[in-house]
């Protein structure tokens, strides 16, 4: 366990790394929050919400954090299945019969949550803003590999899969379930479907400058090929082709569980603090020990057919792949979380009772978080 004294000895280094991002790494606005044993011990926020520097950034600034939303969505599905007595090795079609179309009748919840379902892209071109047509396309889609025999990141389809599972079991869209079962009880400033009253608090996102991130050349070669699975996966369902699209209120309100989360670093870290503290908050068990095991235990690892690098996943959360040169979640093998496009990152480290979140509006170029986020994580464990 990392005791408070040991952590406090690292805080100066974390603050220095945070400041360095602004001095030499083009940081515009950013927040970092760290929780230890259920209490926030670090809250850093600085910079601006826009390039015109007309609005300062503080700890209450909201910002879209892209795929870091996937961890929130996975927690909803795992909690719901657990409370309904549905096993992870049960077929998705047991609650969503039409999902069996195209030969997917044997796809399990575990496979869907760990990117093994074989449907990272859809053959039909459908709009990301049209939930019903996306669901119909998923129902008819044939797997692009034999489910359970390989894995490949499902950048967008993942969210529609999880959303429809929640709708079938609970009756509510996933964003509503998250707000009622997690955000409201915990007082989280996190949204999967941002209400209009919060729109004026959102910082503007900016794309990263072209670069050549270490170890990601194979991904970018594939992404440059319009016919590749990688390119198809990141554009399916279609729409929102540029970062600027996520500055549109319609995108904030859409409630996409794969990529539509909006919130603060403090609340994102607090969500993971619950998971790092045994799933109990204020004397109430929000998630069971069995669910925490599902979040922590790796289901698949190795070469990712979409990312073209080694990845590892538990039931809905990313893990550090064995032997990975770039560790996102610190040294503990029990840690789990999820990054987001441009460098946002959040995770729980149950072994050390630690939770971390970093969000920003000036995105970095790279498929996984780079030095701005990783130097912050490194400072916690150095």
User: Which positions are annotated as active-site residues?
Assistant: 67
Contact (CB, 8 A) for 188 and 275: no
Q: Residue 83 contacts by C-beta under 8 Å, 6 or more apart in sequence?
A: none
- Report phi then psi at 109, rounded to 5: -60, -40
* Vertex 142 angle, CA 140 and 146, to 5°: 150
As a whole number of angstroms, the longest Cα–Cα distance in the chain is 56
What is the Cα 332 distance to its own chain's centre?
19
Contact (CB, 8 A) for 316 and 71: yes
Instruction: Give me the sheet containing 261-263, strands edge to edge.
Output: 63-64, 261-263, 190-192
And the tokens for 369? 């978080």
Contact (CB, 8 A) for 18 and 32: yes
**Block residue for tokens 């004397």:** 283
């Amino acid at each position: 366990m990392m005791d408070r004294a040991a952590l406090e000895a690292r805080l100066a280094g974390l603050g220095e790394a945070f400041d360095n991002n602004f001095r030499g790494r083009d940081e515009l606005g950013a927040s970092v929050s760290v929780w230890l044993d259920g209490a926030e011990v670090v809250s850093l926020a600085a910079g601006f919400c826009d390039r015109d520097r007309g609005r300062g950034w503080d700890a209450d600034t909201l910002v879209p954090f892209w795929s870091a939303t996937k961890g929130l969505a996975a927690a909803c599905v795992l909690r719901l299945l657990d409370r309904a007595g549905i096993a992870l090795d049960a077929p998705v079609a047991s609650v969503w019969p039409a999902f069996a179309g195209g030969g997917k009748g044997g796809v399990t919840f575990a496979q869907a949550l760990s990117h093994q379902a074989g449907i990272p892209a859809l053959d039909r071109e459908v709009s990301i803003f049209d939930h019903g047509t996306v669901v119909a396309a998923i129902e008819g889609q044939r797997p692009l590999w034999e489910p359970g025999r390989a894995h490949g990141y499902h950048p967008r389809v993942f969210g529609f899969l999880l959303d429809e599972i929640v709708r079938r079991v609970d009756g509510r869209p996933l964003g509503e379930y998250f707000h009622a079962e997690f955000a409201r009880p915990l007082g989280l400033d996190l949204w999967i479907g941002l209400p209009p009253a919060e729109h004026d608090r959102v910082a503007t996102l900016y794309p990263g400058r072209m670069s050549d991130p270490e170890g990601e050349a194979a991904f970018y070669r594939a992404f440059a090929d319009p016919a590749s699975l990688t390119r198809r996966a990141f554009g399916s369902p279609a729409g929102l082709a540029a970062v600027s699209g996520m500055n549109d209120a319609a995108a904030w309100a859409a409630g996409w569980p794969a990529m539509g989360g909006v919130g603060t670093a403090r609340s994102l870290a607090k969500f993971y603090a619950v998971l790092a503290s045994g799933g109990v908050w204020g004397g109430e068990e929000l998630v069971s020990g069995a669910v925490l095991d599902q979040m922590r235990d790796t289901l698949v690892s190795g070469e990712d057919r979409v990312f073209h690098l080694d990845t590892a996943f538990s039931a809905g959360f990313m893990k550090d792949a064995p032997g990975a040169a770039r560790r996102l979640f610190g040294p503990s093998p029990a840690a789990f979380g999820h990054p987001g496009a441009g460098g946002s990152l959040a995770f729980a480290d149950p072994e050390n009772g630690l939770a971390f979140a970093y969000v920003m509006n000036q995105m970095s170029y790279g498929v996984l978080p780079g030095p701005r986020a990783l130097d912050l994580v490194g400072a916690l464990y150095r």
